[in-house]
Amino acid sequence: MPIYNFSAGPAVLPKEVLQQAAAEMSDWHGSGMSVMEMSHRGKEFMSILAAAQQDFIELFAVPSNYKLLFMQGGAIAENAIVPLNLMEHKGQPATIDYINTGFWSTKSLKEAKRYGNVNVAASSEPEQFSHIPARDSWQLSKDPAYVHICTNETIDGVEYQFTPDIAHETNHAPLVADMSSHILSRVVDVSKYGVIYGGAQKNIGPAGLTLVLVREDLLGHALPACPSAFNWKIVADNDSMYNTPPTYAIYIAGLVFRWIKKQGGVAALEQRNIAKAALLYEHLDSTDFYRTKTVSDCRSRMNVPFFLDDEALNEEFLVGAKDRGLLQLKGHKSVGGMRASIYNAMPVEGVQALVDYLKEFEKHRG
């Protein structure tokens, strides 16, 4: 029986990546060492790092005036690292604008309040985070240090289907985006953002690696209190080697980048992701036995929360799903219900198996 892992993260990885990592576990390319044993400054790991950096830059079409940083701490650490690096980039302390679209946006803006004045320029919290607030409803500051968005909310299942244009309204403040849960799942115009960051454990690799893209003019403005290991300029000047990087996570990420290239690149995966999401949403929309709360034009392609109309059946549903090899479908504790995370490595066969089970469960319990 095939097993399909719908975990929100750490999430499913491509099978061939896991197989290659297993084959190279004790001896990477005849070096006699596991990647976990290598010096991070030795020629073996340095070649792994360089290849991973270059492959990501090519896959994500990163412009030449951006620095790619491999860091640690996940997006939650970056919630503090972002304001520590950007609060004074215009030469004085400033207000920072946040768009609140779900659990992770809320967590991010609460952290930012430790470092400066936060203006919540728009929020869908009154509507239970069911949509992205319309761009013309945002009450942006005239000269904020930056404007922060979370472009895909894993728990609430909303995703930006547009790139906000904020430049003229905010005196060209940089747009900062947490893209943890959908980076490399769709084509992105990096030049529209000042900073893009994300934890790796959704579409890139294991937990422990954080990717940060920073436009070069935004480097060198960290607050004096910013720890050296979190100062983007110091990290950039040391090619992500200021402290020991998460070497094995970078190695796995590099394998995933190569796998994405074999699939035809990000544009090809985006088309697959559109098809997978449509397959699942179309069935959920076709019946009253299941329900979703997300407005259709804001639905996430990566994370699909849904609810049984009779929530007394939740546990029975999950037991039946597990018996059929459909794992980790329980929704986040903050919202309940179910959640199917269908990242890049989830094949369409897995989504079809879930749809088949949804139909079967409804037939017997509806």
Looking at the structure, do residues 174 and 25 belong to the same domain, yes or no?
yes
Closest CA to 74 of 218, 236, 249, 192: 249
Query: End of a domain among 262, 280, 295?
Result: 262
pLDDT digits (tens, 9 = 90+) for 255-265: 999 999 999 99
Looking at the structure, do residues 103 and 162 belong to the same domain, yes or no?
yes
Looking at the structure, do residues 245 and 304 belong to the same domain, yes or no?
no
pLDDT digits (tens, 9 = 90+) for 13-37: 999 999 999 999 999 999 999 999 9
Active site residue 104: yes
Looking at the structure, do residues 334 and 289 belong to the same domain, yes or no?
yes
366 vs 85: which has the higher pLDDT: 85
Residue 3 resides in a domain: no
Residue 11 resides in a domain: no
125 and 100 Cβ atoms separated by less than 8 Å: yes
How many domains are contained in the chain?
A: 2
- pLDDT at res. 87: 87
Residue 4 resides in a domain: no
Closest CA to 178 of 205, 194, 196: 196
Residue 2 resides in a domain: no
Q: How far apart are the first and last CA of the chain?
A: 26
pLDDT digits (tens, 9 = 90+) for 259-295: 999 999 999 999 999 999 999 999 999 999 999 999 9
Looking at the structure, do residues 147 and 218 belong to the same domain, yes or no?
yes
Residue 7 resides in a domain: no
**What CATH number did the domain enclosing 67 receive?**
3.40.640.10
pLDDT digits (tens, 9 = 90+) for 131-181: 999 999 999 999 999 999 999 999 999 999 999 999 999 999 999 999 999
Looking at the structure, do residues 300 and 183 belong to the same domain, yes or no?
no
pLDDT digits (tens, 9 = 90+) for 64-122: 999 999 999 999 999 999 999 998 766 666 799 999 999 999 999 999 999 989 999 99
Query: End of a domain among 210, 227, 262?
Result: 262
Looking at the structure, do residues 333 and 284 belong to the same domain, yes or no?
yes
Active site residue 178: yes
* Residue range 329-344: mean pLDDT, rounded: 96
**pLDDT > 90: percent of the chain:** 95
- pLDDT at res. 184: 98
- pLDDT at res. 163: 96
Active site residue 237: no
pLDDT digits (tens, 9 = 90+) for 310-329: 999 999 999 999 999 999 99
Tell me which DSSP letter residue 118 carries.
E
Q: Catalytic pick from 55, 97, 156, 178? A: 178
Q: Catalytic pick from 28, 55, 67, 104? A: 104
- pLDDT at res. 365: 87
Provide the whole-model pTM: 0.96
Q: What is the DSSP string of 292-317?
A: --S-GGGB-SSEEEEEESSGGGHHHH
Looking at the structure, do residues 297 and 236 belong to the same domain, yes or no?
no
Average pLDDT, the chain: 96
Question: 3-state DSSP: the chain helix, strand, coil percent, rounded to 5?
Answer: 40, 15, 45
Residue 117 resides in a domain: yes
- pLDDT at res. 358: 98
Domain assignment of residue 287, given as a range: 265-365
Residue 341 resides in a domain: yes
CA distance 357 to 135: 38
Residue 180 resides in a domain: yes
CA distance 123 to 167: 20
Q: Catalytic pick from 67, 97, 156, 202? A: 202
CA distance 307 to 289: 9
pLDDT digits (tens, 9 = 90+) for 229-240: 999 999 999 999
Tell me which DSSP letter residue 225 carries.
T
Looking at the structure, do residues 217 and 235 belong to the same domain, yes or no?
yes
159 and 182 Cβ atoms separated by less than 8 Å: yes
Query: End of a domain among 216, 244, 262?
Result: 262
Looking at the structure, do residues 223 and 312 belong to the same domain, yes or no?
no
Looking at the structure, do residues 303 and 180 belong to the same domain, yes or no?
no
**What CATH number did the domain enclosing 339 receive?**
3.90.1150.10
φ/ψ (deg, to 5) at 198: -175, 145
Looking at the structure, do residues 269 and 258 belong to the same domain, yes or no?
no
